[in-house]
Amino acid sequence: MSTNRRQFIAASATTVASLPFTNAFAAAKKKPLFQISLAQWTLVRELKSGKIDNLDFAKVASEHDIKGLEYVNQFFMDKALDRAYLRQMKQRAIDAGTKNLLIMCDREGRIGDPDGSKRNQTVENHRKWIDAARFLGCHSIRVNAGSAGTWEEQVKLAADGLAKLTEHGAEAGMNVIVENHGGLSSNAKWLATVIEKVGHKRCGTLPDFGNFRISKTESYDCYQGVKELMPLAKGVSVKDMSTDAKNNRIKVDFTKMMDLVLATGFRGHAGIEFGGFEGLNASRKALARAHSELTSKYSS
């Protein structure tokens, strides 16, 4: 690791250490209601610029008191089959006292492509990421449910691709989960219908608080969307801005949102996925406040 990278990481750790942050999770007498994880996309600028290397991600997360790791394949796109590199990632996570949770997969095709050969190729493209995630000790890969056609046609096509990929996931003991990530996938009713059509316990959702804009002129209410996707969820992605049903940008109320999450019985990780170090630190504090405010309701 270069001197500049060491200085950058050290400075980041010093900054977070100076924050007036109350660790509501450590203070909880019982098991925390949820834990916090960090998605690499939060630090997209730092990772793309080289200020942070993919192999340093576990160390950076740990220095910000976050122990759950959510990778993005774009930052090690050519390493899915490189066991020596994946072994380094795994060891770095162990050394940092962190846990690998999932890999978010992009740029591998549309899982619901109307062209059957392209759809099958997309399934094949994702298989290597299932194997990489299993090697790293993750529980899931996150995929996109891109398709084309009418509502009903896209349900059928996306469910077909997901069902095929989930078969491989199940064989590997891995989950295949879908984020609301633009287009019809940002319509919670559509996405829930797709997952229900797949009908496999290994196929679920990753509700994203901020990704409910279906198009430039249409949005789904974020609170309603999370409520509808949570019964199928195996994780959540945290953002502080979203949309309402009238397509207006709104500030997310973390306590209200985490109340919806916990009401379904979910007790997993809430993954911060935006905003650089400033957004990371602000979200940690906001999630801690939400945890404190909801403890009495869900710890009885």
pLDDT score at 299? 84
pTM of the predicted protein model: 0.91
**Cβ atoms of 108 and 141 closer than 8 Å:** no
pLDDT tens, position by position, 173-212 = 999 999 999 999 999 999 999 999 999 999 999 999 999 9
Note the pLDDT of residue 30: 72
What confidence score (pLDDT) does residue 64 get? 96
Which residues in the chain land under pLDDT 70? 1-29, 300
Q: For residues 176 and 157, give the distance between their C-alpha atoms in angstroms, rounded to a whole number.
A: 16
CATH superfamily of 34-298: Divalent-metal-dependent TIM barrel enzymes (3.20.20.150)
pLDDT of residue 17: 37
pLDDT at 18: 38
3-state secondary structure string across 200-230:
CCCEEEECECCCCEEECCEECCHHHHHHHHH
The per-residue pLDDT for 28 is: 53
Short-list 170, 246, 235, CA closest to 212: 246
Report yes or no: 70 and 102 within 8 Å, Cβ to Cβ.
yes
On whether the CB atoms of residues 171 and 131 are closer than 8 A, the answer is no
Confidence at residue 300, expressed as pLDDT on a 0 to 100 scale: 64
pLDDT of residue 25: 58
C-alpha torsion 269→273→274→279, nearest 10: 20
pLDDT of res. 7: 47
Q: What pLDDT sits at residue 91?
A: 98
**Mean of pLDDT over the chain:** 92
* Three-point CA angle 132, 79, 48, nearest 5°: 115
Q: What is the pLDDT of residue 23?
A: 54
